[in-house]
């Protein structure tokens, strides 16, 4: 007769429910009991379902990625890098996508549940104290992408340096009245880009003018990272200086999607870039080349690939110190700030 879980329960001196929970990686089963159940199962020659065996070994062969705003070109490029690195391994990818940053907590809670994945990549998610406790309590290897915490592996770009690079480019073009379009307040990368903008102005001996800085408050669902927010933000920025001669002659948008909206609002008001106003963004997502948008490039694909590499190392050496990789951003000059047109093939 074939061996059943009733035989294992009797041999391990536990209930049938405990045997079932042990095979399915349930957190209510202690490690001592789990090992006893599997020792009896091996001795009796019992072969559980493959997925249950995997969970029992605490090895699912899965990596989870928690991603806000799945439709964003930035996140798609990061995910492409993640998937390409995983293709070189025996791991598969499971994506937990949220519609907004505000609702990402539920997806994070799902991803850190015991047995769901061997490791996790947490992308562009604000790292609060509560989330750090949640991550550490799960005892699951985690790498942060586009976010930072001292005690957790991370991959970021030097956003402050990038903000300074964009602003210095506009200063070198002769601009002193440089507008700054930001997403809604509280975005870590955006705050750092603003700091770089202010650094460059002060280096040039120019006082920071708060009237030239505007947060895009028209799209809280996506935290202001949309064309619409950039469009409305540019309209308000121009409106602040209507009838005056001290308005911005250039605009730095803290994300390419904001810059797209700013360019449209400028065109509707009769301004052309760079004839009347220079515009530069941040990211260098694929449409920016076709839009002729100058921008600061962050290596999104490489960030995803490096984060996955760090996670593979962490899985192999869970006790090693936290590692932090910071990429340097690059300036890409196109037509919107006086560059020549690129030949796109």
Query: What pLDDT is attached to residue 59?
Result: 65
- Average pLDDT for consecutive 10-residue bins of the chain (345 residues)? 75 81 71 85 70 52 83 87 92 82 73 77 87 83 93 96 98 98 86 97 97 82 80 95 94 97 96 95 95 97 97 90 96 95 73
The C-alpha atoms of residue 123 and residue 76 are separated, in whole angstroms, by 11
DSSP 229-295: HHHHHHHHHHHHTTT-S-S-SEEEESSHHHHHHHHHHHHHTT--TTTT-EEEEEE--THHHHHT-EE
Query: What pLDDT is attached to residue 57?
Result: 47
Query: What pLDDT is attached to residue 51?
Result: 44
Query: What pLDDT is attached to residue 121?
Result: 95
Spacing of C-alpha 47 from chain mean position: 41
Predicted TM-score (pTM) of the model is 0.79
| 139 C-beta neighbours (distance < 10 Å), count | 11
Output b/e per residue, 167-192; b: 16+ Cβ within 10 A.
bbbbbebebebbbbbbbbeebbbbbb
Comparing C-alpha atoms, which of 310, 311, 305, 324 is closest to residue 118? 311
Reported as type and span, the H/E element at residue 171 is helix 159-172
Tell me if residue 166 falls in helix, strand or coil.
Answer: helix
Hey, what are 17's tokens?
A: 């429910």
Query: What pLDDT is attached to residue 291?
Result: 95
For the chain, list the domains and their CATH numbers: 5-56 (1.10.260.40), 62-157+300-328 (3.40.50.2300), 159-299+331-337 (3.40.50.2300)
The C-alpha atoms of residue 101 and residue 106 are separated, in whole angstroms, by 10
Contact of 250 with 178, CB cutoff 8 Å: yes
Query: What pLDDT is attached to residue 27?
Result: 63
């Amino acid at each position: 007769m074939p061996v059943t879980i009733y035989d294992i329960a009797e041999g391990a001196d536990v209930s049938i429910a405990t045997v079932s929970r042990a095979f399915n990686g349930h957190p209510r089963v202690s490690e001592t009991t789990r090992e006893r159940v599997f020792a009896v199962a091996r001795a009796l020659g019992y072969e559980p379902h493959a997925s249950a065996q995997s969970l029992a070994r605490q090895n699912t062969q899965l990596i989870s990625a928690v991603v806000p705003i799945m439709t964003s070109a930035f996140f798609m490029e990061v995910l492409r890098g993640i998937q390409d690195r995983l293709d070189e391994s025996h791991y598969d990818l499971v994506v937990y996508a949220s519609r907004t940053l505000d609702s990402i907590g539920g997806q994070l809670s799902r991803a850190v549940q015991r047995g769901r994945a061997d490791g996790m990549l947490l992308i562009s998610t604000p790292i609060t104290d509560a989330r750090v406790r949640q991550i550490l309590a799960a005892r699951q290897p985690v790498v942060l992408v586009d976010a930072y915490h001292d005690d957790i592996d991370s991959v970021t770009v030097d956003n402050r340096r990038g903000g300074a690079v964009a602003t210095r480019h506009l200063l070198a073009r002769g601009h002193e009245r440089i507008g700054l379009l930001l997403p809604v307040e509280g975005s870590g990368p955006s705050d750092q880009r603003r700091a770089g903008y202010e650094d460059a102005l002060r280096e040039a001996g120019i006082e920071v003018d708060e009237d030239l800085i505007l947060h895009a408050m028209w799209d809280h669902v996506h935290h202001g990272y949309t064309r619409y927010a950039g469009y409305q933000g540019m309209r308000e920025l121009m409106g602040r200086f209507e009838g005056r001669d001290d308005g911005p002659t250039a605009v730095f948008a803290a994300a390419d999607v904001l810059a797209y909206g700013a360019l449209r609002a400028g065109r509707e008001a009769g301004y052309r870039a760079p004839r009347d106003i220079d515009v530069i963004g941040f990211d260098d997502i694929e449409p920016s080349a076709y839009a002729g948008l100058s921008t600061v490039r962050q290596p999104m694909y490489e960030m995803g690939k490096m984060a996955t590499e760090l996670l593979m190392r962490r899985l192999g050496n869970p006790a090693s110190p936290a590692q932090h990789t910071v990429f340097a951003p690059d300036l890409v000059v196109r037509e919107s700030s006086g560059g020549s047109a690129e030949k796109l093939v």
